[in-house]
Structure 1
Amino acid sequence: MDALTVANEVAPYVTAAVTAYGTAVVTRTAETAVDATAGLGQRIVQRLWSREENRDGLEQAIEEVAEDPRDADAQAALRVQVRRILRQDAELVAELARLLPARAFTASGDGAVAVETNSGVISTGDGATIQR
């Protein structure tokens, strides 16, 4: 996965952890996780935090979300900071990608299709004719 994809994937976990723990998210122990999402977010934040050069911007973004977890602008600033950090550290991108749960694809209903990538035609129409 590339840095942008990983940043977008980890952002909800980071936000959940900051919402659950506030600024203490970087110092809490893993055993005190409220739930799986916040626990994973906490581990992600701690890995981001472990690189000292990342701390200033990350700390400010965490503080803003902790002050008002519902503030969409603060959440966006945190996502931007995470993205900025990951664009500079391919090793961290790979490490965080390994932490993420496997993606599950669900399709339901008539003609529904769940696809991660597709290089061909997908047709669910009745009596469809596909010509090449």
Structure 2
Amino acid sequence: MNAAEIDILWLGYEDVSGLWEVTWGDDDGTEPSRTARRGDLFVTLLSDGLIDVTTGPPSADFDAAHHLAPDEVRELLRDPRSWRGPQLDDDGQHVLLFRTTEAGLAAYRAATGWRAGGAEPRG
């Protein structure tokens, strides 16, 4: 598991988080190839059941919101607005929010060596 995957799983474990909050750490390549790699990584975590994803303003009720399928997320990632935080003048329908699942937390623990009751390593 790479540093970006660990960061995503940690952020989503701490609280519902936005895609714009992720520290990607990959400054190599051109912007289009970087964005494609990041999108593939995010969709793979969703496809593997490690995160749940929805859209909307950060104040939305994550549990009550429609959780997106990988194809829906991949389509949204084509919109550059999906990669930035919410703006004052938008409805949040392109703002991607995610939360780590139980399987994601187990993967995070396996990757970082964090055990229940111990200090919480960030990665």
Return the TM-score normalized by structure 2.
0.30
Which one has more relative contact order, counting CA pairs under 8 Å at least 6 apart?
Answer: 2
| Structure with greater proportional helix content | 1
Return the TM-score normalized by structure 1.
0.28
Higher-Rg structure is 1
